[in-house]
Structure 1
Amino acid sequence: MHVSALSLTDFRSYEQVDVTLEPGVSALVGPNGQGKTNLVEAVGYVATLGSHRVPTDAALVRAGAPRAVVRLRAARGDRSSLVELEINPGRANRAQVNRAPTRRARDVLGILRTVLFAPEDLALVKGDPDTRRRFLDDLAVQVAPRTAGLLADYERVLRQRGALLKSAGAVRRGRRGDEEADLRTLDVWDGRLAHLGAQILARRVRLVNHLAPHVERAYAQVSDGQGAAELGYRSSLVQAQDDEPGGAERVPHLDATTELLEAQLLEAMSRRRTQEIDRGVNLVGPHRDDLVLTLGGLPAKGYASHGESWSYALALRLASYELLTHGTPDDAAGTGISDWGEGSEPVLILDDVFAELDSRRRGRLATLVARAEQVLVTAAVAEDVPEQLEGARYDVMAGQVTRVR
Structure 2
Amino acid sequence: MYNVKLNAFLIETKALSRILKGIFNEIYLVKESQGTLDLNVLKGDSEEKLIGFPLPRNRSAAFLLKHIVCVFYFLKVSKRVHFVILSNVSDYPLTLLSIGKLTNKKIVDFIGGSRVFLSLVILHSKTSFLRKIASLYALISLNIALRISDKIILNARRLAREKPFIVYKDKVCVANNFPSEDFFEKFCIRKRFVERKLVVGYVGAFTLAKGICSLAKAMRMLLEEVPELEVIFVGDYQRSEPPVLGHKILHFFDEYRDRVTFTGQVHHSKVADYLNEMTLMIYPSYSEGLPHAIIEAMACGTPVLATPVGAIPDIIKDRETGFLLKSNDPKYIAERIVELLNQPELLEKVSINAYNYVRENFSYEKTLER
* TM score, norm. by length of structure 1: 0.27
TM-score (norm 2): 0.29
RCO greater where, 1 or 2, for CA within 8 Å and sep 6 or more? 1
Larger Rg: 1
